[in-house]
Amino acid sequence: MSIQFEQIQILYNQLLNSVKEVKNYISNEDYDNAILKENYISILVQKINFLKKTVKLEDDELNILNEISNKIMEIENENISKLESSKQLVLQQIKKLNNQDKLSAKYAADSEQDGGSIYDYSD
């Protein structure tokens, strides 16, 4: 196996580890760090794509990279499904809060006084 392949394999493994970190961040609802790690992942993907275009890989090398890529895709699909379910929960909570806000606004409007003073000096 060539040095170039080893470099690409290192990048693939870094990508796999980064995707696993994103999965952990999502599980812990640490979305800020997940986004930061996704930015790093996009840089890794660019590097991988560049190297794959410039390096001629053997079939066995491609098979190894495809195995790693399949693991990455599996974890990414899990991340997407977790985020989709979180999105649905957030949308439900927003709808609930909007309904409560409408209800509060309705009762607040009904309970407002027409003005005046509690002291009546007309006597």
pLDDT tens digits, one per residue of 22-48: 999 999 999 999 999 999 999 999 999
Q: Which residues of the chain have pLDDT under 70?
A: 109-123
How many whole angstroms separate alpha carbon 110 and alpha carbon 123? 30
Task: Give the domain ranges of the chain.
Answer: 3-109
Q: How far apart are CA 39 and CA 33, in angstroms?
A: 10
- The model's pTM is 0.73
Cβ contact 52:64 at 8 Å: no
Indicate the fold that domain 3-109 takes in CATH.
Answer: Methane Monooxygenase Hydroxylase; Chain G, domain 1 (1.20.58)
**For residue 66, what pLDDT is reported?**
95
Residues 72 and 15: beta-carbon distance below 8 Å: yes
Q: How far apart are CA 23 and CA 57, in angstroms?
A: 30
pLDDT number for residue 123: 54
- First-to-last C-alpha distance (Å) of the chain: 104
CA dist 23 and 79 (Å) reads: 6
Cβ(44)–Cβ(14) below 8 Å: yes
The answer to whether 79 and 20 have CB atoms below 8 angstroms apart is no
Do residues 37 and 21 make contact, with C-beta atoms less than 8 angstroms apart? yes
Q: Return the pLDDT at 114.
A: 53
